[in-house]
Chain A
Amino acid sequence: MKAGRYGVYGGQYMPETLMSALIELEETYRRISADPEFSRRLDWYLREYAGRETPLTYCTNISRELGCRVYLKREDLLHGGAHKLNNTLGQALMAKFMGKRRLIAETGAGQHGVATAIAGAALGLPVDVYMGEVDTRRQALNAFRMELLGARVIPVASGTRTLKDAINAAMRDWVTNLGSTHYLLGSCVGPHPFPRIVRDFQSVIGEEARRQVLEREGRLPDTVVACVGGGSNAIGIFSPFVDDDVALVGVEAGGAGLDTPRHGASLSAGSVGVFQGALSYLLQDADGQALETHSVAAGLDHPSVGPEHAMLKDTGRVRYEAVTDAEALAAFRYLSRAEGIIPALESAHAVAYALRSAGDLDRDGILVVNLSGRGDKDVADVAQIRGGAA
């Protein structure tokens, strides 16, 4: 396999001006991966600051109802309320080791923007966050949170004014400020080495979950489920299980249904293409233009997906399924009531799949669901969708 490739996928489809920065990033990453001082400091931040390890919660009520043993990996309890901080702390620390003086990031729902703002504040790096104009309005609370955390939110008024345009804008900033700035990409997408770096920083989820479930059950789970937007929380929990006899299921945004154009399921319904630096599955038209996508979960509302997932789909090692907005909303409500845990709408997709598929497992079957984030950010949206009714 070529460096930076996952099967045929991945690569570095980037303007020439950025290539030097990607090469620098690759070299830095190699260096810090072998640097005990880096690991020691990252461990400290993850443990003392972010609150790792996160619990693997056995869900008594759901398990009883579904007739199998259901665990939630509680990334919702990580500081900031989502798994995003694992990656932002890692990359922000790496930026410091590289001597960069400024962080930039893109954000859709605002979770990655908030996590970058947190990491920037903790490590003393100024942060500029690009956010589609549509999203600054849809996610006004998170925009305010970022500003509270000292970041500057820059609304992006080009293209569809959503996440993909925020990524474009961040790349343009990066190419103009290469010397001073690290682009802290928020998912396992984009050109090599980003998919690798983000996967590695998120793999702490799966490493903990694997150890925790072995301690608790004395064996590995039957199935691990995670939602897939760009794919970082999923690749983070899947990676340590890839060589095990464990079924892995990635759940994409089915939106209004895969029989409509309103969804974000690039693996289930897309085709292979080059987008924002990588060859992967992409929702695109016949000419290669990315399509507008839709999901009730802003964090899954993206036309492409990380290249490693593209490979895992082709090899069949991971199964990718889609869950509709309606199913996700039902799961959002269900988990809140059944266990007293309000999931992020993104994570609710994974929960919805678990509800749908629990019948496949027998009473001793073990299901681990990655609860990638908490749902406080979505409460106002859901109230509006449901006309105020809880």
Chain B
Amino acid sequence: MSRIAELFARKNPVFIGFAVAGDPDGETSLRVAKTMIDAGVDLLEVAVPYADPVADGPMIERAHVRALEAGTTPDAVFALVRQVREYAPDLPIVLFTYYNIIYRRGADRFFADAAAAGADGVLIVDLPVEESDEAAPAARRHGIDRIALIAPTTSPERRRAILRDASGFVYLISLEGVTGERDRLSPDIAGLVGAVREGTALPLAVGFGISSPEHVRAVVAAGADGVIVGSALVRLVEERLGDEAGMHDALRTAIGAMLRVLVPEREPDIPGRESIEG
């Protein structure tokens, strides 16, 4: 079983943390990843820095810029993944990337390098199912899950095509918009989760705009198998660029607060529960 499948089989819901590789620089970025893991992140999503991140809001775009200014190349991202893999042998790692990074390297080489570094999945944010002819077989060849994205605007017909091709888990975009913190969640996450659930047995994780423990609670209540938190964590890095100890403290505190919301919602491991309820 892959690390991703194994995680979702073992835990529900799971907490997915996002960081831009190399933000604010390579060494700090590795320490940030370790802090996130130590704080209890179940799956790490690592973004490959890209100069034109059209799906991202200003917070994550600034992280891309910091990482690029620190000289973070795709090679450096693979090196970081390798180090995280050594630190946390069982932790699922998903690379979050824009397609030209893959196209330029060559899809086969990209997925080979990702697999060699220890990544489990790749999410290509600007590669819709219609354009996946080259990436999909390359990912499969190297045993990398290609995490599919489904938006509230995705039609049922396209949803079916996307799910036919998906593996690992499915990333549900909670809202019409780019990444970034929001005061309020989109009201119909449960509807989206329910609709997608009908078409797949894969676990469903919800991301975009999830900024607080209250949001995490709402997403879990909507029936998701995982929550993805990005900008809210990236902000803690950005706000404490000159104070690394404070940065790690803030990350631990924030992740801890969100995890505490998750825990009571987790299915208790009580044998024979079915018979009690049924």
- A residues at B contact (CB < 8 Å): 11-21, 23, 158-159, 164-165, 168, 171-172, 175-178, 273-277, 279, 282, 284, 286-290
Pairwise interchain contact A168-B153, C-beta atoms closer than 8 A: no
Assess whether B150 is interfacial by the CB under 8 Å rule. yes
* Cβ-closest chain A residue relative to B128: A19
C-alpha spacing A185/B152, complex, angstroms: 24
* Cβ-closest chain B residue relative to A20: B153
A231 vs chain B, min Cβ distance (A): 19
Give the A-B pair count, Cβ closer than 8 A: 108
Pairwise interchain contact B176-A19, C-beta atoms closer than 8 A: no
C-alpha spacing A17/B209, complex, angstroms: 14
Q: Which residue of A17, A168, A176 contacts B52 across the interface (Cβ within 8 Å)?
A: A168
Within 8 Å CB of B103, what residues of A?
273-274, 279, 288
Pairwise interchain contact B51-A21, C-beta atoms closer than 8 A: no
Instruction: List 6 interface pairs A-B (beta carbons < 8 Å), by A numbering.
Output: A15-B149, A165-B52, A274-B99, A282-B100, A288-B100, A288-B103
Pairwise interchain contact B125-A15, C-beta atoms closer than 8 A: yes
Q: Which residue of A12, A16, A289 contacts B154 across the interface (Cβ within 8 Å)?
A: A16
Assess whether B173 is interfacial by the CB under 8 Å rule. yes
Q: Interface SS of chain A: helix, strand, loop or mixed?
A: mixed
Pairwise interchain contact A16-B151, C-beta atoms closer than 8 A: yes
Q: With A16-B151, A19-B153, A287-B104 known to touch, is A159 a contact of B65 (CB < 8 Å)?
A: yes
Interface string of B27-40 (1 = CB under 8 A from A): 00000000000000
Q: With A20-B153, A20-B155, A284-B104 known to touch, is A14 a contact of B128 (CB < 8 Å)?
A: yes
Chain B residues numbered 93-115 whose CB sits less than 8 Å from any CB in chain A: 99-101, 103-105
B105 vs chain A, min Cβ distance (A): 7
Within 8 Å CB of A282, what residues of B?
100
Which among B55, B74, B101, B155 has the greatest number of chain A C-beta atoms within 10 A? Answer: B55
Pairwise interchain contact A16-B51, C-beta atoms closer than 8 A: no
Pairwise interchain contact B100-A17, C-beta atoms closer than 8 A: no
Q: Which residue of B104, B125, B149, B153 contacts A21 across the interface (Cβ within 8 Å)?
A: B153
A244 vs chain B, min Cβ distance (A): 33
C-alpha spacing A318/B221, complex, angstroms: 58
Within 8 Å CB of B274, what residues of A?
none
C-alpha spacing A23/B128, complex, angstroms: 12
C-alpha spacing A21/B150, complex, angstroms: 14
Pairwise interchain contact A175-B154, C-beta atoms closer than 8 A: no
Pairwise interchain contact A168-B104, C-beta atoms closer than 8 A: no
A71 vs chain B, min Cβ distance (A): 39
Within 8 Å CB of B54, what residues of A?
14-15, 168, 171-172, 276
Assess whether B58 is interfacial by the CB under 8 Å rule. yes
C-alpha spacing A164/B176, complex, angstroms: 22
Pairwise interchain contact A287-B127, C-beta atoms closer than 8 A: no
* Cβ-closest chain A residue relative to B53: A168
- List 20 other contacts, CB 8 Å, given A18-B153, A288-B103: A12-B130, A16-B162, A17-B55, A17-B152, A17-B153, A20-B153, A20-B154, A20-B155, A158-B58, A159-B51, A165-B52, A176-B176, A176-B178, A275-B100, A277-B126, A284-B100, A286-B104, A287-B104, A289-B51, A290-B51
